[in-house]
Amino acid sequence: MTCDDTVLSLGVYLVGALDAADREAVEAHLADCPTCQAELAELASLPSMLERLSIDDFPLEPLAAPEDLFDRVAAKARDEHLQQTRRTAHRYRRLTAVAAAVVVIAGASIGASVALNHHSRPANGFSATQGPVTMRVTLASQTTGTGLKVTVSGLPHDEHCTLIAVAKNGSRDVAGRWDVTYAGWGQETGSTKITQSQLSRLVLLGTTGQQLVTVNV
């Protein structure tokens, strides 16, 4: 996979929408490419940005595109390609990938909302950023305890992570353990015996037990 292919996939990679084969190809490239690792770091806040999107941010009625839209966009793209430096063009492709990821997520949210008569909104999602580390958590009530889907970015390479669930009464429970990928990003599922109504916060610890980030729920 080339740098161009990787950059165009980073937005979708961060939101966990790549299939297994493409995800492995992206991570293999990131392992040996500092340039693409830097691009990924710049996009680390994308999951938390998408978390703030709601159905109210998007029109539900069909939008009619102007007849000359394609010609105008194509002409604009040709002009920018001739005038901009390689660095600017590279940044343009990165932003295009982010926009594509936003459209994918927003479209999925809109589809789900229409199916539920516009009453359903993304729920039980929480996120926090501490230094370079961003963690996003989605909660799901279970018969006993709470299910967790965790997305973390901005971590040091090969960090050994432990996720601690803390109840409102101060009791603690290990909700998951995993190793970070070469890209410093990971998506994991876990669970805690603490019920959702009694859950206070989730604390991510590093290899030496240092606190990396805390998400209040």
Q: Reduced to 3 states, what is the DSSP secondary structure of residue 71?
A: helix
Per-residue pLDDT at 118: 36
Same domain? For 99 and 182 the reply is no
For residue 122, the model assigns a pLDDT of 39
Considering 65, 94, 115, which residue would you say is the last residue of a domain? 115
**Global pTM?**
0.46
Residues 160, 109 within the same domain: no
Supply the pLDDT for residue 121.
35
Q: Are residues 86 and 108 in the same domain?
A: yes
Domain end position, chosen among 115, 135, 158: 115
CATH number at residue 202: 2.60.40.3870
Residues 28 and 69 in one domain: yes
Give residue-wise pLDDT tens across range 20-79: 888 888 888 888 888 888 887 777 766 666 666 555 555 555 556 566 666 776 676 666
Residue 49 falls within a domain, yes or no? no
Question: What's the Rg (C-alpha) of the chain?
Answer: 20
Q: Are 102 and 130 in the same domain?
A: no
The domain in which residue 79 lies consists of 3-43+54-115
Judge if 87 and 10 occupy the same domain.
yes
Q: Which of 115, 136, 157 is the last residue of a domain?
A: 115
Please check whether residues 98 and 156 belong to one and the same domain.
Answer: no
Note whether residue 60 is domain-resident: yes
Low-confidence ranges of the chain (pLDDT < 70): 45-70, 73-74, 76-124, 182-183
Residue 176, φ and ψ in degrees, nearest 5: 170, 155
Assess if residue 75 is contained within a domain. yes
Closest CA to 140 of 152, 128, 122: 122
Please indicate, yes or no, whether residues 93 and 143 belong to a single structural domain of this protein.
no
Length of the chain: 217
Q: What total of structural domains would you count in the chain?
A: 2
Give dist(CA 22, CA 162) in Å, integer: 27
Q: Are residues 109 and 26 in the same domain?
A: yes
With respect to residue 24, please indicate whether it lies within any of the assigned structural domains: yes
Burial of 62: CB neighbours in 10 Å, binned 0-12, 13-18, 19+: exposed
Q: In what order do the strands lie in the sheet with 146-153?
A: 125-130, 133-141, 146-153, 186-192
Q: Are 164 and 212 in a shared domain?
A: yes
Residues 161 and 110 in one domain: no
The answer to whether residues 16 and 93 belong to one domain is yes
